[in-house]
Structure 1
Amino acid sequence: MSTPAAAYISPDYLKMARWKDNILSFPIQNSSHSLIANSYYFGHPVWARNYLAVVHRDQKFQERWFAVTGSWQDKIVVDIGCAPGNVYASLRDRVGVPKLLLGVDVSRGGLAIAQELGYVPILADAQKLPLKSGFADLVVLNAALHHCDDMPRMLAEAARLVRPGGLLVTDQDLQQTMWCNNWIAHAIWNLRLPIYRFLKRGGHTTGEEQHWCQATEVHHMPGDGVTETFFREILEPMGFEVNLYPHNLNVGAEVLQSERGKQAWNVGLAQRLSGRDPDSVEGALVMLCVAKKDLAIPCVTT
């Protein structure tokens, strides 16, 4: 198998590996509507390029992520749910050149774009990764968990890859408590779609794009999302020290001092109408998880 990823493929998956369009590909055994939507939306030749150009590319994102991950120079990094490569595209001027940058996604078109940025692409289901355990210095999932049907399984699979002393970072998944889960919140949530469509907001420029964009976000609505318990119950038994930082999108490195940043005025107004205080910890839009694996945990590369 002629790829830098070969040394990290689990022996159980070697016979399943196939090359297609210069991308190492593994069978997707349990497809779903959301998986198909993610494959289509993030592989669309126009939508994916637009997504790469504007999403997760702002200065606060860069400051926050560099403060958390530090240098990637000469490290083995795995970006799960990498889409067209937004995380490294945003950070590469700060973090340096990894020894190996693996990008895992279900979208062949998205992976082809990520490959242009230096990713070694792997098409695979994030809920059942074809990779060995305990080899990665850094595993990242940015705005990825809520796109997956089985969030606990995706998180556990990602954590499995981290070596002792390594780091797992997830960010930009909706915090479950961000909304009061009532009819007002759901009404406001549904009302935003025609408004976004009228404004031609990114991801909503046409009816077709909006349909597929929404279909990708399985766990991104009132009453759903990530919680402190979710992260701790999965990661702590696997030997991770877990630090959690609820935040809004306009906060940089100061997130590590538990600064949350201010909620956007329109989101804050919607929250107040639903009964949630946007200035509370519970009202923070998303949650950042920084989990370090204990050095004492044995490294089993299977």
Structure 2
Amino acid sequence: MLPQEMADYLRVIQVERGLSQNTVKAYQQDLTTFTKFLEEQHKTVQDVDHLLVLTFLNQLRAKGRANTSVARMVTTLRKCFSYLKKEGLVAHDPMQNIKPPKKAQHLPAVLTIEEVDRLLDVPDLTKTLGIRNKAMLELMYATGLRVSELVNLTLADLHLDMSLIQTIGKGDKERIIPVGEVAVDWLKTYLRDSRPKLLKDKKADQIFLNDHGRPISRQGVWQLIKKLVKEAGIEKDVSPHTLRHSFATHILENGADLRIVQELLGHSDISTTQIYTHISKGRLTQVYDQYHPRA
């Protein structure tokens, strides 16, 4: 159980600062891990100093935690202790001189256009769930939606007559996204022919439903993507986020401006979007090596 001071901090960031439920949950997991460490050391929040934090971080590394995980822990503790110090709940901020480990640059997996086509051809269009799967995949690739945005998408968010959808992303930031004609057609087909059969006598505002007529979960989408990728014979490590990465990479490779891609993806900082320029350059090198006679 979290100390009262940390529990209060989580309440503040959720209610007053409006952070998403997923972000708050991630902070809670980090603070729970740190609390267990304090209990093992027979220490309280007020006892935490610079050396104790370093001991904790070294313990995480010894247990095989990745640099990204340790870096996230540092961020969580830094924000939490900054709040505790500001509220007078601790005498000193032990995180002032703690630096997170440098993150290794990780380029996300991206499908080729041919692999995307194979994946989109997998759903069995003679079945109710097959039509749902087709509409879902087409929409994810057409818009670059995060999986959390996809599962929370409601009927009111669709403006198919204008080929647009609206969604609430990270930090409760709303954005409007254009949708291609193919994805619009499959969405209309799903809403007309498939969704009513899944819904039956239930009620739901969310667009995509599972076979029990309830809104499909993030885990449900993840498991579905893994299954369809395997059926498509794609051997890459693919997750729902891979379609988002592929969407961004393919439109950049076809000449889209980076600022436009930033808006489409809902990134608050363009430096987050710039990772896709590295992927595109990698593709450029690959094409050059393959086709230039002197490469």
TM-score, normalised to structure 1's length? Answer: 0.22
Which structure has the higher relative contact order (CA within 8 Å, separation 6+)? Answer: 1
Specify which structure has the higher proportion of helix.
Answer: 2
Rg larger for? 2
Specify which structure has the higher proportion of strand.
Answer: 1
